[in-house]
Amino acid sequence: MGNCFPKPVNNFSSTNKISTQVNNINAEKKKQAMVEGGGGGGGQAIATPKMATRCLKCYTYGELKSATRNFRPDTVLGEGGFGRVFKGWVDGETYAPSKVGIGIAVAVKKSSPDSPQGLKEWQAEVKFLGKFSHPNLVKLVGYCWEDREFLLVYEYMQKGSLENHLFKKGAEPLSWSTRIKIATDAAQGLDFLHTTEKTVIYRDFKSANILLDGDFNAKLSDFGLAKLGPVNGESHVSTGVVGTYGYAAPEYIATGHLYVKSDVYGFGVVLLEIITGLRVLDTNRPGSQHNLVDWARPALPDRRKLRKIMDPRLENDYPPKGATKAAELILSCLEADPKGRPEMKDVLVSLKEIGAIKTKPKEPKVHATQPGPQRDRRHHSAHHSPLHTKRSDGQANQLSPMRSY
């Protein structure tokens, strides 16, 4: 039976009936407290306000095995620090498990037995996504906690992650307008979190956590590291350093002081990835270019240099003025002092202005005297510059998550 907190079932004799019922009820109350962030299990409790998890579907482990065809390898959508994500199918109205192709697709995240923070991150996901609803946050459909198995069920995002579209070999290039739309959607999600009644710091903003639906609408996912923001006039919260190298703000890494605007730094990093098509960290690039932020920063205020670091897959099909404004926004988000960074509401204003700048239609070019092979060579070199070096297997380096709790 999954931990869905139904009426306790008693299979013992009548002589033990009363005491057994009391024990079962106490155990179920303890489990409910764990789901709501209360504590137990020997771990540190997550201090949270009580939330309406009753709105979420509670699954048994067996039901999710059925929905994913026993977690078959060919249903794997991806893998992160928490564990693997599988594609499953549920009824469109009741969300009960269904057969493949019947009902609606869902993404089932299953905790890894090797994850020491599985319960804590699972609680955080239920805590925040079970409480919030926004067009730019992935919808949490339900959950399961059974023995040491922690699972979460989300809406299925057909286009996968922004990370794959930017860096995966063979992925269809994203247009400039689609990139700015994705950035705007993600910014709306962050702004929502920062302006809720109790401010939420996302703490792990990166391209891998931005998921896209069939129309390239972007939604934030993976709230396992999210944390309530400062209260009582404090500027920050002090906490263990977690997140992903390259995206985490420098003041947070250095001191453990987490500001709301630490998220803004991460947004600046992702926007830089969006316009350059380069990972924030890649040791396969030349030494001076391993860290995208350090290498690209001097080019951002210079129009000529900026043009050289723009993603060649855009094929210059973007408004130069829009690229310049995007570069200015990136620089402001990457300010060393968090006080100097803009709030997400101001980032949104800038992105909407950038999105309103239209690309001028290209005039048809005549290449009467230019042989085809030369065009091929130019196209080849544009996609294989030192800035876009890949490993021999075609994949860029993966980032190492920070797990210093």
Active site residues per annotation = 204
Q: How many CB atoms lie within 10 A of CB 288?
A: 9
Measure the CA–CA gap between 86 and 349, rounded to whole angstroms.
Answer: 37
Measure the CA–CA gap between 56 and 36, rounded to whole angstroms.
Answer: 12
DSSP class of residue 133 equals: -
Contact assessment for residue 101 and residue 182, using Cβ atoms and an 8 Å cutoff: no
- Residues annotated within the binding site for ATP are 110
Contact assessment for residue 338 and residue 249, using Cβ atoms and an 8 Å cutoff: yes
Burial of 214 (0-12, 13-18, 19+ CB in 10 A): exposed
Over its C-alpha atoms, the chain yields an Rg (Å, rounded) of: 24
Residue 224: closest CA among 77, 80, 122, 115: 122
Q: What are phi and psi of 196, to 5 degrees?
A: -70, 170
Contact assessment for residue 364 and residue 135, using Cβ atoms and an 8 Å cutoff: no
Measure the CA–CA gap between 114 and 123, rounded to whole angstroms.
Answer: 17
- Residues annotated within the binding site are 110
Q: What is the DSSP string of 6-69?
A: -SPP--S-GGGHHHHHHHHHHHHHHHHHHHTT--BTTBPP-------GGGSEE--HHHHHHHTT
